[in-house]
Chains A and B, each alone.
Chain A
Amino acid sequence: MLEVGLRHRYGRAGFAIDAGFTAPEAGVTAIFGPSGCGKSTILAAVAGLLRPDAGRVALAGKPLLDTALSVFIPPERRRFAMVFQEARLFPHLSVATNLRYGLRRAPPEATGPGFEEVVALLGLGDLLTRRPSRLSGGERQRVALGRALLARPRLLLMDEPLAALDAARRAEVLPFLARLRDAAAIPILYVTHALDEVDALADQLVLLAEGRVLAAGPVEALAARTDLPLAARRDAGALLSCRIAAHDAERGLTRLDFPGGQFAVPLRAEPIGSQARIRLRARDVAVATEPPRGISTQNVLAAQLVSVDAATASPEVFLQLALGPSIILARVTRDSIARLGLRPGLSVWAVIKAVTFDHAMPPPPPPPP
């Protein structure tokens, strides 16, 4: 487990951070929040590139920073490889030498994927002899990912690795990131302000605002809550981990199993049996008290109304619906609540159009030869 607890203030009356969280030994923990909320400061402190006023950073119980005990392990001895927003490749070294920079400095007993394996994983084979100045932005970031992974780190730190890329380059690099996550048997701390990256990559979420942790926990659990700033977003909604159950090419549909039921969505590219995480936006979910008939909507699912979030004065209200063990959100008007007599415990029908499902994860890159 990674434990992080920090207090830091820039200048005498500057921006202050007072944040603490833990991250499990495996998987991706995303630190999510708006620009200037202190995400990158936290990551720099974990890396050892910034000494906070006070705090503790420990991995598997061993402190790397503990201001109370005057412990400060310098960054080069932490073995927390970092990927930055700009790739920060060494301009005087070839791609191959850049990739080997951390590998040559890793302790001999450190384990991890080998050079050839990482080159294949990230599709770097054709770039090895090039200089960083002769690479595209997306290629640079892929090399930076490989370089960090090859340092055989105990923890990977990623500071908005896609933020400096345009939409096309992001779509190019994101699948490689997902691959790297699956190949690396180490925890990843991932700082971002893009929710789709959280959806695509993260297992755990630390929600940050103005230097403080608002909530932390599994991504799905936080997405289903209506009391967080996440709920104010247009794309607020539940995240469901699904398995591709079947493709029906003739009808143009893919069936997704999720705990508590099945969705029909437009045909997807992933092979049967693979996992896909689906963001089901609250504003795309309608509620009926009787099973609707003569309707184009593919997904009409029996559900239990768990809660009606009527606390806010807003004309729109969040409903939490239970589909078996899964919770989804629906956003309806206050008028609909009154008209249909919606109250917790009621059996309803969740009505979800197939075409509203987002491709939370872009199709995977072609497998390495």
Chain B
Amino acid sequence: MILSGEEWQAVRLSLDVATRSVLVSLIPAVAVAWALARGRFPGRVLLDALVHLPLVVPPVVVGWGLLMLFGIRGPIGAPLYEWFGIRLVFTTGGAALATAVMSFPLIVRAVRLGLENVDPGLEAAAASLGAGPLDRFLSVTLPLMSPGILAGAVTAFAAGLGEFGAVITFASNIPGETQTLPLAIYSATQTPGGEAVAGRLALISFTLAMSGLLLAEWIARRMHLLLGRG
């Protein structure tokens, strides 16, 4: 299958945005999953709801909310721009942020599932053997929850390749900058005679997503074997 330069650009941009979004959200997702699974603090239920909001709110609303917060005049966007010269609206970084927010609940859910599979008794044993809290987390909890983290990352990556509503609202549809695969498909469908392009891109989108999900499954199985849960 031969793709034009512009089509390739959309594929590369999609991979770029999805990668960045996963990198941005991974550590906060582990922290939030930890707080939700093990934490006992007021507002835990509220945090849980907040994290899952992007699953139920229309993506356009999420994009709009980001525009309000991170826009040049937004409460976060203004200082970012004035102090650091960072502008997120209408940029690849902005597309990655919108994608990260949308896929955040997916990562948190997978990480939390992985964490809940870790027996707290093992951490107690590690403590009695002289391991402090950070040591316990790094030597026992993290390796044992890593299948969840990896599964979450790959799922979020696959989903991130196809994020549409939040990206187009917050980052707009700029070829080479924010026009990811789904946005390129959308543009193609709006262009007379663009059916062939849309079809090719849709096939690529489908292939990438499927590969991602299969990869996640395969990694999870290998990890469980490695961790002695075969």
Contact = CB atoms under 8 A, between A and B. Distances in A.
Contacts of B139: 90, 101
A105 B228 contact: no
Contacts, number: 77
B129 A102 contact: yes
B193 interface: no
A81 B135 contact: no
A84 B229 contact: no
Interface stretch (A71-79, A193-201, A252-260): A71-79
Interface in A102-136: 102, 105-106, 131-134
Contacts of A316: none
Interface residues of A, number: 30
Given A84-B121, A88-B121, A49 B128 contact: yes
Interface string A135-157: 00000000000011001000001
Question: Size band of the B side of the interface?
Answer: 20 to 34
B101 to A, nearest CB: 32
A91 interface: yes
A80 interface: yes
Contacts of B202: none
A350 interface: no
B140 A82 contact: no
B140 A49 contact: no
A134 B230 CA distance: 10
A90 B136 CA distance: 11
B230 A74 contact: no
B61 interface: no
A101 B129 contact: yes
B129 A92 contact: no
A162 interface: no
A80 B144 CA distance: 25
B74 to A, nearest CB: 43
Interface of B: 119, 121-122, 124-132, 135-136, 139-140, 143-144, 226-230
